[in-house]
Amino acid sequence: MTPPAGQHGPRSERSHDPVVERSHGSVSEGSHGSRLDPWTKAYAQRTAGMNASEIRALFAVASRPEVVSLAGGMPYLAALPMETVAAAVAQMLATQGLTALQYGSGQGDPVLREQILEVMALEGISAHADDIVVTTGSQQALDLVTRIFIDPGDVVLAESPSYVGALGVFAAYQAQVAHVTSDDDGLVPQALEERILGLLAAGARIKFLYTVPNFHNPAGTTLSAQRRPQIIEICRRHGILVLEDNPYGLLGFDREPYDAMRSLSQEGVVYLGSFSKTFAPGLRVGWALAPHAVREKLVLASESAILCPSAYAQMTVSTYLATCDWKAQIKVYRELYRDRRDAMIESLGALLPQATWTHPDGGFYVWLTLPEGLNSKAMLPRAVTERVAYVPGTAFFADGTGHRNIRLSYCYPDPDRIRVGVRRLARVVQAELELRETFGPYDAMAAGAGPSHGVQSPAPDLS
């Protein structure tokens, strides 16, 4: 492969040079720079943030068993009845292999789409299977929705903080993210109204509100039942679509799920669902439920991106739903994650009195706020030395804020490991407090930290 005309990179030119003289000495006239990547000038603007980062490098140690990782988001799959699943999948492949290994429909397996209706019914959604588009994880649905709605510079409204994986998609489509104040009950309706008015007055094109209403990643909070219709109404009034991302909705610990926002508005909401948290993230099966006109475009966009979602993966999910007691399995997960949440909250209470945190009643995450003047990003190397990992809060903001915050996950480590992890984290915080006492508060802007240009989220396979 050669670079296109006019894009000849320095590296490719250099490779045609005569061998550089080995002796040190004269300035070589042929000496010219290399960027180690002949395509440097060819990349699209949207590639600008796709860089190596110190933070991401530090996550490399988190996969080692010596390190207690409170950084990842991997579901605890060991709780699955693996033998039962294996037998069912083997049977499926033996009897329906020619379909499972063939191209499938771009919109997704019709049988699975019918089953997805049953799953969504648990959160008050009544819909038609025709309006479901099965995707490669709900992450792809997020990508497709963004692709069909966002032109560069368009505004996406999002909670503060917001899901780092969504922020990555929005950045890739050059959207501007406007964070909206959120509290323990999720998005604050009045703050949303004011934010919208301010943006509109400034001439912004607001396309949609992205929200994770249940057991938020990373905040651990849930949008209250009272606020749901208010948020829907504000968006309806301003002609703003709601993108409801709900991977954790069925993983509540203490109560039945709230009705989904989609149950309150068929036309104003695109709903994203996933089997990654309730069954198997490795299969990459998620979906979008959209108003019919939007759904038509999502199907075409998905076909142009991937032709069709994996038939094998969809049929595996379909088989699981049809032959295993998936509701009982969800109950197993709820209890397991509740124990882990309890271990984390208890440990935080005992060991980190200087900090504050959210109290999730479902999902995977606790959102911690450090004492004033500490910086979670600057502190991460110390945590790695202490063999505990977390995700700094800055990853969850598009505007470079979040320095005092930390996302802690309790989904993967068992309760004993969680306690060890929090104990180590407490030592880290104590050492940073001593530094603050000596040097004063950490000033991210003075330290040149600003909004980061590198990728700060851990890879999906981090435990």
Partner 1 sequence: MTHVRHGRQVMVLAGGLSHERDVSLRSGRRVADALTRSGTETHIRDVDSTLLSAIRSSPPEVIWPVLHGATGEDGALGDLLGSLGIAYVGSSPSSCRLTWDKPVAKALVRAAGVSTPAGVALSHATFRELGAHAVLELVVDALGLPLVVKPSRGGSALGLTIVRSAAELPSAMIAAYAYGDIVLIERLVEGVEVAVSIVEDEHGQPQTLPAVEIVPDGGVYSYEARYTAGATEFFTPARLSSGAAASAAAASLCAYRTLGHRHLSRVDLIIDGDDRPWFLEANVSPGMTETSLFPMAVEAAGLDASGVYAGVAERALATPGPPDPA
Residue numbers of the site for partner 1 (CB under 8 A)? Answer: 10, 19-22, 24-28, 31-37, 39-40, 43, 51-54, 56-58, 60-61, 64, 66-67, 375, 378-382, 384-385, 387, 432, 434-436, 438-440, 442-444, 446-449, 453-454
For 313-385, strand residue ranges (E) read: 356-357, 365-369
Q: Tell me how far, at minimum, the Cβ of 25 lies from partner 1, in Å.
A: 4
| Residue nearer to partner 1 on the CB measure, 124 or 381 | 381
Q: Tell me how far, at minimum, the Cβ of 18 lies from partner 1, in Å.
A: 9
Q: Tell me how far, at minimum, the Cβ of 437 lies from partner 1, in Å.
A: 8
| Residue nearer to partner 1 on the CB measure, 236 or 427 | 427
Report helix, strand or coil for 39.
Answer: coil
| Residue nearer to partner 1 on the CB measure, 328 or 446 | 446
Q: Tell me how far, at minimum, the Cβ of 27 lies from partner 1, in Å.
A: 6
Q: How far apart are CA 43 and CA 290, in angstroms?
A: 33
| Residue nearer to partner 1 on the CB measure, 58 or 290 | 58
| Residue nearer to partner 1 on the CB measure, 32 or 292 | 32
Q: How far apart are CA 263 and CA 270, in angstroms?
A: 11
* Neighbouring C-beta atoms of residue 362, cutoff 10 Å: 22
Position of tokens 């964070």? 179
Pick from 261, 185, 177, 188: nearest CA to 219: 185
Report helix, strand or coil for 206.
Answer: strand
Q: What is the DSSP letter of 406?
A: E
24-40 burial, b for 16+ CB within 10 Å, e for fewer? eeeeeeeeeeeeeebee
HSE toward the beta carbon, residue 359, CA cutoff 13 A: 4
Q: Tell me how far, at minimum, the Cβ of 390 lies from partner 1, in Å.
A: 13
Report helix, strand or coil for 398.
Answer: coil
Q: Tell me how far, at minimum, the Cβ of 281 lies from partner 1, in Å.
A: 23
Q: Tell me how far, at minimum, the Cβ of 378 lies from partner 1, in Å.
A: 5
Q: Tell me how far, at minimum, the Cβ of 15 lies from partner 1, in Å.
A: 9
| Residue nearer to partner 1 on the CB measure, 356 or 385 | 385
Report helix, strand or coil for 388.
Answer: strand
For 252, list phi and psi in degrees, rounded to 5. Answer: -80, 150
For 126, list phi and psi in degrees, rounded to 5. Answer: -115, 130
| Residue nearer to partner 1 on the CB measure, 335 or 434 | 434
Q: Which amino acid, one-letter code, is at 12?
A: S
Q: Tell me how far, at minimum, the Cβ of 355 lies from partner 1, in Å.
A: 17
Q: How far apart are CA 413 and CA 424, in angstroms?
A: 14
| Residue nearer to partner 1 on the CB measure, 171 or 379 | 379
| Residue nearer to partner 1 on the CB measure, 57 or 307 | 57
CA angle 56, 60, 61 (to 5 degrees): 130
Q: Tell how strand 186-187 and strand 155-159 pair up.
A: unpaired
Q: How far apart are CA 209 and CA 188, in angstroms?
A: 13
